[in-house]
Amino acid sequence: MLEEFKKFALRGNVVDLAVGVIIGAAFGAIVTSAVQDLFMPVIGAITGGLDFSNYYLPLSAKVQSGMAYAEAKKQGAVLGYGQFITVALNFMIVAFVLFLVIRAMNKLQKAEEKAPEAPADVKLLGEIRDILAARPRV
């Protein structure tokens, strides 16, 4: 069983998948930081200080309105729709970047496609032509 697992784990597709997952997680962290630290402050500045991360609806009477989202969660149940907007924006950015990457890869693959190989009889005729051309003329 250990040998069978070793074959499975070291198969090329599994290793490729593991590398993809690790790179994807790192890429996700970069996008999350970009959205939270770059895009959302710009959107907030454009909209006059709008901060999506602190938008919530209190679901408990214990929660006082006007508090920061993190503090409101400590007091009771809240519906944090601002966080959802931020996460949805993260997803849109990741999806768009992946679309651009896959699109570029597809263009590269099309550019690298080789011309179809000539049939065997055409190759043979070409070789005969080359042999006849190389013979000395009498």
Return the structure tokens found at 70.
């993190």
Homologous superfamily assigned to 2-134? Large-conductance mechanosensitive channel, MscL; domain 1 (1.10.1200.120)
**pTM here?**
0.54
Tens of pLDDT along 2-47? Answer: 888 777 777 767 777 888 889 888 888 887 788 778 877 887 788 7
Domain boundaries, the chain: 2-134
Q: Give 57's strand partners.
A: 79
